[in-house]
Chain A
Amino acid sequence: MGLFGKAARKSPWIYRINAGSCNGCDVELMTTACIPRYDIERLGCQYCGSPRHADIVLVTGPITVGVKEKLLRVYAQVPDPKVVVAVGICPISGGVFRESYAIAGPLDAFVPVDVNIPGCPPRPQAIIEGLALAIEIWAARVDALA
């Protein structure tokens, strides 16, 4: 299945989960995807409307207590192989909300994370760089399937 694997690595579909974010990182993600200046479709990425179509899951926001269960439910619906990317410093460490009572914890306490993109919010070029790293990991995973 070498040819299939080589072809499959060029088509990572991305899906964004907002886990209590202030929307700063979400605005930057939308900027990266929708405006002509930062075109991620040239890397083969495409936003999908359903978690079941996703390959790379982008999570923004500190994981608030209210959203934790829903995040886990949506994460369970993403089929394997998948790559999880934490966008912004909120899912990495909690950011400015680090010691708040409303935060359930950093993202890697709940799901296995693969790539971190720090920044508040990260620049669109920084997001593209992080996505390129995630695509490398995704390519290795999808190619490794028998």
Chain B
Amino acid sequence: MNILKLLLGNLIKGPATDPYPLGEAITPAAYRGRVAIDEATCVGCKMCEHVCAAGAIRFTEDEAGLHFLIWHNSCVTCGLCAVYCPTKAITLTTNWQTSHRQEDKYKQVDHATIPFTNCSCCGVRFLKAQDPLMLLAYKTVGPNEERLRDLCPQCRQVESAKGAKV
């Protein structure tokens, strides 16, 4: 008779159904959803392209700068890109509402451009170091580090070797 008690309990307790789509759905805080890229923080190391499990991330280069492209329909939300990004420019949001019609299949992309700049000393074209990378390297971004920011790697070496300016 246990089963009858169970059924009676079920009738009394009522439905246990998640109210979505007629109500809100609970999303866990650590849910691995759609990928988001922060253009200002990316330094163009291409680590994410290297570790991407499904080859969803592509980098291309042209006059304007380095172009980051991710096709969300090939992304398996493994999170490896977010783990290995040194500056946490690429992160996984909790957005799981990504269903779309067939017409929008190739529009599910995110695109970022990391612009080239010219070295203030020798004028060669290079990618500037962003703040998070500077923090990783120098532990602080003060006036000593500021003057190194606009220099290409060769000039930065020369300037660094001259010693810190108090």
Q: How far is the CA of A130 from the CA of B53 in the complex (A)?
A: 25
Q: How far is the CA of A94 from the CA of B21 in the complex (A)?
A: 28
Residue contact A129 to B21, C-beta cutoff 8 Å: yes
Q: How far is the CA of A119 from the CA of B100 in the complex (A)?
A: 12
Q: Which residue of A lies closest to B10 (CB)?
A: A36
Chain B neighbourhood of A128, CB < 8 A: 20-21
Indicate whether A95 reaches chain B with its CB closer than 8 angstroms. yes
Q: How far is the CA of A118 from the CA of B76 in the complex (A)?
A: 8
Indicate whether B77 reaches chain A with its CB closer than 8 angstroms. yes
Interface of B is mostly: loop
Chain A neighbourhood of B75, CB < 8 A: 89, 118, 120
Residue contact A118 to B98, C-beta cutoff 8 Å: yes
Measured CB to CB, the closest approach of chain B to A61, in angstroms, equals 14
Residue contact A123 to B96, C-beta cutoff 8 Å: yes
Q: Mark B93-112, 1 if CB is under 8 A from A, else 0.
A: 00011111110010010000
Q: Which residue of B lies closest to A133 (CB)?
A: B99
Take A93-B74, A116-B105 as given contacts and tell me if A36 and B99 are in contact as well, using a CB distance cutoff of 8 Å: no
A-B contact count (CB 8 A): 92
Residue contact A36 to B73, C-beta cutoff 8 Å: no
Partner of A126, one of B17, B54, B55, B97: B97
Interface size on A, residues (CB 8 A): 34
Indicate whether A9 reaches chain B with its CB closer than 8 angstroms. no
Q: How far is the CA of A20 from the CA of B99 in the complex (A)?
A: 22
Measured CB to CB, the closest approach of chain A to B133, in angstroms, equals 30
Partner of B101, one of A95, A116, A129: A116
Q: How far is the CA of A121 from the CA of B124 in the complex (A)?
A: 46
Indicate whether B16 reaches chain A with its CB closer than 8 angstroms. yes
Q: List 22 A-B contacts (CB under 8 A).
A: A38-B20, A39-B15, A89-B74, A89-B75, A93-B71, A93-B74, A94-B74, A95-B54, A96-B76, A98-B55, A108-B102, A112-B102, A114-B102, A115-B99, A116-B102, A118-B73, A120-B78, A123-B31, A124-B18, A125-B20, A125-B96, A137-B101
Interface of A with B (CB < 8 Å)? 36-39, 42, 89, 92-96, 98-99, 108, 112-120, 122-126, 128-130, 132-133, 137
